[in-house]
Chain A
Amino acid sequence: MSSILAWLPYAVAGWLLLWGLYGIVKSRNLVHLIICLVILQSSTYVLLLAIGYKAGAVAPVFADMPLGTPAVDPVVQALMLTDIVVEATVAALLLALAVQVYQRAGSLDPRELVRLEG
């Protein structure tokens, strides 16, 4: 049972990665497409946290803690936070572009846009 639990986050990360890619490929709406990109990205959160996790360890806050207490890896958590910032920027930028596209073309369908561009 515990071995399944240990592998589960990796399986979830892989699943999210593939599902996000599939969603982008099949998407007919830019907002939907951007959300799929965010899903693709969520897989990296899960993966990073899974890598740093240690059963029975505490949060990596080292005040009032006896030396030698096992803690989860703080590096991956920092990476994940940076990752969130990066993704928020990109998603916001893309959504702003989607708004502009809708104002000009009146459509959010990527295929429609290709046709409009000619």
Chain B
Amino acid sequence: MHLAPWTVALPLACAALLAALAEKIPRTVADLLALTVAAANTALCALLFRETRSGPVVYWFGGIRPRQGVSLGIDFAIDRIGAGLATLSAVLIFSALLFAARYFDKPQASFQALLLVFLAALCGFSLTGDLFDLFVFFELMSATAVGLCAYKSREVGPLQGAINFAVTNTAGAFITLTGIALLYARTGALNLSQISRMLAGRHDALVLVGFAFVCLGFLVKAAIVPFHFWLADAHASAPTPVCIIFSGAMVEAGLYAVARLHGALFATPLPGFRPALLALGAITCVVGAAMCYAQRHLKRLLAFSTIAHAGAILCGIALLTPEGYAGAALYVAGHGAIKAGLFLCVGMLLHRLHSVDELVLHGRGQGLPWLGALFAALGLLLAGTPPTAMFLGESMLHHALREHAVARLALAIASIVTAAAVLRACGRIFLGWGPREPDAPGGGESDEEPETVPARIPWSMWAAATLLLAGAIASGFLSRQQASKEAMRMLDPHAFATQVLDGAAPSNPEAATPEPLGPALWHSAGTAAGALALAGLTLGRKRLPGALRRACAGVWEPFASALRGLHTGEVGDQVAWLAFGAAILCGAMALG
């Protein structure tokens, strides 16, 4: 039997077992069981990743293959980028389980079970070749994520975050389902390749609206402005080990779905789709970066930086070119490991110092030099410095976006400002730099209570963080040429359909030789220098001349307070923005 279905079946079965035995087995056994299954799933996904190196692999459930080019069965159509996303998810879930082993006071078998269901949903989502299954895995992912988000539901804060998350994402998911129904009405098919064959390049108004609706739910999950409001609340509420999956894999899964669907369904870009996504991506970069810089709650800070980076990834996808897709895929691989590592650092800070508030923690991290070094290193990597896949991805994105100066500028802002915010927090906490700020209102203590009595940081937490740092550096060995080749396959619906429906051999496109990395090195050095300078200026702003300081504050303060004013935290407002964004997206496609 093929490996693919096991990546979903194994974690699901083990989750059921853990949930059933929760009270009856000792804690160590539950920990070991969950960790073993996550490790096994990582290995399965890595094997799939390896298997797909010579082209996509198709698996038909129950052996119900298409006859005469018509499919009635359900398939997993595994391309290399999807298998890579599944591998990334499995690695992140493994790190989360490892980190969580000593994070909670009491045994948490239900927490582990939920994480494993999340893993099953992510794997299914990345591998499936069926539009409706995509929706089902998507909803499974949402429901589990909400459960994880409200996991420590002793306070109102986490519940509020979980409810906002559930309502916005469910509303988005039903708009997606409406879109799926419309596409089915036009084509009578749910298999992606079958839909693409039935459409045969025609896209009338119904198809356009249907596809816009389908993408909408995924864009909500990807936290693209103006659908992003739920993400920061969800991150602030969720336990830290869960944040790494939200930021590292879940948001990216939403973006992957948009990329994959457009690539598998339409041979030519839909009218209006490219400018609409490009504009949304650029706005997301800027809004995410600004909000990230304005935060003092470290988990919110990282959550907004994820929003900015999601915008950058969307800019790459929006081009609908192999180079853009490949850059986005590499960017996701590097970003996932780096951002997850940063969240683990914040988790260790919370564990050790009982707070995730940058200003409260001022200077209190001076006894933790190793944690500080890790935090700073990850912060610099977040600026897109080598040797991670994020560096490779960013260089490809910049090259792909060479004709879109505004988008490139937005991308640069996202990299510089988010890295500067992380480095600023690092300088303030671990070096005690910057003036001691009076406790401003609105930041508040952490929503999350530290769980255990801290003596030292347990080795399992260090192990998880080191694993992620190693993963980030290892991701730098991914080949840009190979990624371009996979992206070309992803953007060729005809070849894909012949393989899925007629059983032909996978296509073997010739990818262009990637650009030399020299200019990209200069570029990343500039970004890192910019981030360091911005962080330094923020911390040392009392030493700047008064006029300059007032001028900066005069520009920044109204902008930041206007942005903050939009983030009301009310679920009704968030759904209103969702409807507004839906109207914009559909409008852009109607006019395009």
Contact = CB atoms under 8 A, between A and B. Distances in A.
B500 to A, nearest CB: 18
Nearest to A26: B572
B572 A110 contact: yes
Interface string B125-146: 0000000100010010011001
B23 interface: no
A77 interface: no
B570 interface: yes
A54 interface: no
Contact of A97 (B159, B182, B190): B159
B142 A117 contact: no
B499 interface: no
Interface of A: 13, 17, 21, 24-27, 30, 33-34, 37, 40-41, 43-44, 47-48, 51, 75-76, 79, 82-83, 86, 89-90, 93-94, 97-98, 100-101, 104-105, 110-111, 113-114, 116-118
A116 B156 contact: yes
Nearest to A27: B572
B586 interface: no
B6 interface: no
B569 A41 contact: no
Q: Is the interface of B mostly helix, strand, loop or mixed?
A: helix
Interface residues of B, number: 42
B366 interface: no
B121 interface: no
B136 A86 contact: yes
B131 to A, nearest CB: 10
A41 B568 CA distance: 25
B159 A100 contact: yes
A100 B139 CA distance: 22
Q: Is the interface of A mostly helix, strand, loop or mixed?
A: helix
B190 A75 contact: yes
B242 to A, nearest CB: 16
B143 A51 contact: no
Contacts of B157: 117
Given A17-B178, A51-B181, A93-B147, A114 B160 contact: yes
B178 A51 contact: no
Given A25-B572, A37-B170, A44 B156 contact: no
B185 interface: yes
Given A44-B174, A110-B571, A100 B160 contact: no
Interface string B172-208: 0011011001101100001000000000000000000
Nearest to B442: A118
B211 to A, nearest CB: 16
Given A117-B156, A117-B160, A94 B167 contact: yes
Nearest to B136: A82
B153 A100 contact: yes
A90 B171 contact: no
Given A104-B155, A114-B160, A33 B167 contact: yes
B230 to A, nearest CB: 13
A105 to B, nearest CB: 5
Contact of B156 (A27, A41, A75, A113): A113
A110 B570 contact: yes
A17 B582 CA distance: 13
A26 B576 CA distance: 9
Given A97-B150, A101-B156, A90 B139 contact: yes
Given A40-B171, A110-B572, A114-B569, A90 B166 contact: yes
